[in-house]
Amino acid sequence: MASVKELKKDVDLVMSLALSDCFYVLEYNSKVDDKAVMEIAAGIIQKHRELRIRINHADGKDNPKLVKQYYKKLVSDLLAGADAALVKLSAEVKKVTSSDN
C-alpha cells in the first residue's frame, strides 16, 4: 500500500473529478434538472468527507493485515461511491436527451 498521504490525494482527485462532472452538466446542459444534479453533488461532497475521516481512523493499527484490509475496503468504497454518483448523473442527462427526441 502507498502512503496515507497519497491515498488522501487520490480521494481528493477522484471525488473532485466526479464533482466537476456535475458542474459541467449544470453549465452546459440548461435542460437538466438543477436540483437533482445539486443533490448528486451534495452526495459526492458528503462521501468525500466520510472517506477523508475514515482515512485518519484506521481499525487495528497493531495488526498490519487488518490495516491493509481496512484501506482496501476504503478504496473500494471510494470507487463505488464515485461510480454510483456518475451513474445517477448519467441518468439525469439521459432523461433530458431522451425527451428531446
Q: Which residues contact 12 (CB under 8 A, 6 or more apart)?
A: 48
Q: Tell me, what's the pLDDT at 101?
A: 58
R_g over Cα of the chain: 16
Q: Which residues contact 66 (CB under 8 A, 6 or more apart)?
A: 59, 60
Q: Tell me, what's the pLDDT at 96?
A: 87
Cell numbers at 36, concatenated? 437533482
Q: Tell me, what's the pLDDT at 91?
A: 95
Q: Tell me, what's the pLDDT at 99?
A: 67
Q: Is the dihedral of CA 3, 4, 5, 11 positive or negative?
A: positive
Predicted confidence pLDDT, tens digits, the chain (101 residues): 568 999 999 999 999 999 999 999 999 998 999 999 999 999 999 999 999 999 988 877 788 888 889 999 999 999 999 999 999 999 999 998 876 65
